[in-house]
Amino acid sequence: MGKRPLRYHSFILTFWLETADPPTWRIRLEDPHTAVRHGFKEIQGLVQFLEAWTAVPPTEDSTVE
C-alpha cells in the first residue's frame, strides 16, 4: 500500500447516491498526496480496506510518496 507518515494520514472520503433501482450509495476514498483512488460499492469494502491499511504499522523512515 505504499509508504505513509508515521503519526497520521488523511484521506478524502466521498459518498454519492446512484439513482438506480434501487438507489445505491457509492463510496470513494482518495489519498490527496498521491491522488490514488479506491472505489467501494458498499461500506463493508471500505471498512475492509481501512482495516488492512491500518494493519501495516508505519516505520520510522516512512514518508508520503
Q: Return the pLDDT at 9.
A: 82
Number of domains present in the structure of the chain: 1
- Domain of 39, in residue numbers: 12-55
Asked whether residue 60 is assigned to any structural domain, the reply reads no
Q: Return the pLDDT at 65.
A: 46
Asked whether residue 63 is assigned to any structural domain, the reply reads no
Q: Return the pLDDT at 60.
A: 58
Judge whether 18 and 26 are in contact, CB under 8 Å. yes
Cell for 50?
A: 481501512
Minimal CA–CA distance to 25: which of 43, 37, 13, 12? 43
Asked whether residue 64 is assigned to any structural domain, the reply reads no
Q: Per-residue pLDDT for the chain (65 aa), expressed as one digit of tens each?
A: 556 555 778 899 999 999 988 999 999 999 998 899 999 999 999 999 999 988 887 765 545 44
Asked whether residue 41 is assigned to any structural domain, the reply reads yes
Q: Return the pLDDT at 20.
A: 83
- Integer angstrom CA distances of residue 12 from 20, 21, 23, 36, 61: 24, 27, 23, 10, 24
